[in-house]
Amino acid sequence: MKYITVRTKDGDYDIALGRRALDELDIEQLAERFDRVGCIVSERVLALHEETLTRAAGRLGAKIYPMMDGEENKNYRYAENFFNLLLKECFTRRSLLVGIGGGVVGDFSGFCAAAYMRGIPIIHIPTTLLAMVDSSIGGKVAVNIQAGKNIVGAFHQPQRVIADTRFLHSLPEREIQNGIAETIKHALIGELRLIPILTQNNLQTICDDDVMEDLIFLSASFKAAVVGQDVREAEIRAILNYGHTVGHALESWMRYKDISHGEAVAWGMKAEAAISRRMGFLNDGDANLINDLLKHYGFAAKPPIFDPAGVLEHMRFDKKNIKDSLRFVLLKKIGEPVYNIEVEEGLVLDVLKSMIE
């Protein structure tokens, strides 16, 4: 088993990564100091791994609370149901939540933990590649509102992250793609050791256990290092939003239907590379490599159907914006991002239009 330590001013915690991490860790000891433990679990994951999760919940002395998956359910109204449930189940400030599922469940359970009684501890057990390499790390938790994604949230670091790669064996190809999009992002903004792994493999070979563990370890370690430097996203952590300004706007405009997070981020990276190129930052060679890498993993072949002006309107709710200006993470070259860059709306609109032509 491999360990990555995330060091932040809010406290340190470990990411435990391995093929049987959930079985090999002494999770009973993790739960000893809490009066109650509750597992918020994706209904889909529970159906696929009921025996494993029931056994883990028993070792934690925890109750299982199933959650409907999907971005459309990651909202404040649904969270209120869980706040009432936790109160009914007598959860206190000395209780523990465990989020088990993909990025949606991790964000949602983390938000519930951050808000309930002004904050109770959370452990994340990510079950998707995207969650293992990205969303379970760094303490950003949130729910969506109609205007945009992750508008209401908090920074709430977990007690621990347990990445058991056995869960990945049951993922459909599209979910592997979602996670690959985030690893491509990490490669483009600084973890250059990921590039040979990505270029020398494809969607089939990258699922080999050893290759996948190396991919997760490098990607998660990179994010952990960035988060450790800037917990509250005041400066350098903003680079992790590369591809997400356009990506989140696409998701919210499409109401989280007919597009996955990975697909949205892939189109976001493609668009933001084009903006970087048109602003004179990125050369043709790097821009072509980005497009080729996205294409290699099945992204950016056919654009989603969207209204450029409508997506631009959703970008105005992005948290990186200052006053009325649009702010982006762009690339000077592969491995060298720049952040907080103001981009004219006309240029953004032109790039969005070119994506669907």
Between β-strands 96-101 and 122-126, what pairing exists: parallel, antiparallel or unpaired? parallel
Which whole number is the average pLDDT over 120-144? 97
Q: Over the chain, what is the mean pLDDT?
A: 95
- Neighbouring CB atoms inside 10 A of 336's CB total 15
The pTM for the full model equals 0.94
Closest residue by Cα to residue 240 from 150, 114, 105, 111: 150
Got the DSSP string for 156-176? ---SEEEEEGGGGGG--HHHH
- Using the structure block, give the residue that is written with the tokens 């679990």: 41
153 and 140 in contact (C-beta within 8 Å)? yes
The pLDDT of residue 321: 67
Q: Which domains does the chain have, with CATH numbers?
A: 2-170 (3.40.50.1970), 173-356 (1.20.1090.10)
Residues annotated as part of the active site: 118, 140, 182, 223, 233, 237, 241, 244, 248, 261
pLDDT 10s digits, 188-247: 999 999 999 999 999 999 999 999 999 999 999 999 999 999 999 889 999 999 999 999
* Per-residue pLDDT tens digits for 259-304: 999 999 999 999 999 999 999 999 999 999 999 999 999 997 788 9
C-beta separation of 63 from 57 below 8 A: yes
pLDDT over threshold 70, residue 32: yes
Query: Is the pLDDT confidence value at 318 over 80?
Result: no
